[in-house]
Amino acid sequence: MTSSVRADAARSRERILEVAKAKDAADLRLNDIARDAGVGVGTVYRHFPTVRALIEALSVDSLRRLGEAAEAAAREPDALAALQHFLDDALALQLADSGLQAVLVDLERADPVVQSECTAARAQVRAGFGAVLARAQASGAVRSDLSAAQLQRLVCGVEHAVRLGSPEDRPVLLDVLIAGIRA
């Protein structure tokens, strides 16, 4: 019986995440998610006691993919091209995952319930931003006074600008970002 209860709980969690993925992070309401997922409100709150916990759970996959993008950038022979590709990937992931920005820039608000799930992925992303940037700085392509945290916030700013405008703004705004950080 215990395994069927666990399997049922896992199915409920996946259904909750599936329903929540279809919504913008700003529009997530746990009671609405419960209704749309066809589960009780208590079930949602057991898995995700806060909206923040739900947003973090939704962003784990994006965080992992961003870490993989950093690893791919490390294999790129040209340091500036690697940085450009990585920033483009980071921007694309943030545009696709409306909660990713909050998870990336507001780390001190990490929800303890999901934090263990997100911690390794966040660490990989932070290390990725740092490694890709340091390599571009060492090559002389990017200004040396820029930190990885600043670069991450700049990508978030470009994401916000694209959301205010249109998807067609993305390439030019990313080009402006790259031009602004060049040495």
Residues 85 and 2 in one domain: no
- Least confident range from 5-14, 59-68, 103-112: namely 103-112
Tell me the sheet residues that pair with 182.
142
Helix (H, G, I), strand (E, B) or coil at 148: helix
Residues 76 and 165 in one domain: yes
Query: Containing domain of residue 100, as a range?
Result: 52-181
Residues 81 and 43 in one domain: no
Q: Say if residue 55's pLDDT is above 70.
A: yes
Q: Say if residue 16's pLDDT is above 60.
A: yes
> Domains in the chain: how many in total?
2
Residues 76 and 148 in one domain: yes
Residues 146 and 97 in one domain: yes
Write out the two tokens for 126: 């932070």
The residue with tokens 């995952």 is 97
Interval 20-37: pLDDT, tens: 988 888 889 999 999 999
Interval 108-148: pLDDT, tens: 555 555 556 677 788 888 889 999 999 999 999 999 999 99
For the whole prediction, is pTM greater than 0.85? no
Answer with the residue of higher pLDDT: 62 or 110.
62
Q: What is the mean pLDDT of residues 42-49?
A: 92
Among 41, 158, 147, 43, residue whose Cα is nearest residue 91 = 158
Residues 44 and 84 in one domain: no
CA–CA dist 166, 14 (Å, integer): 32
**pLDDT-based confidence at residue 10 (cuts at 50, 70, 90):** confident
110 φ/ψ sector (left φ>0, alpha ψ -120 to 50, else beta): beta
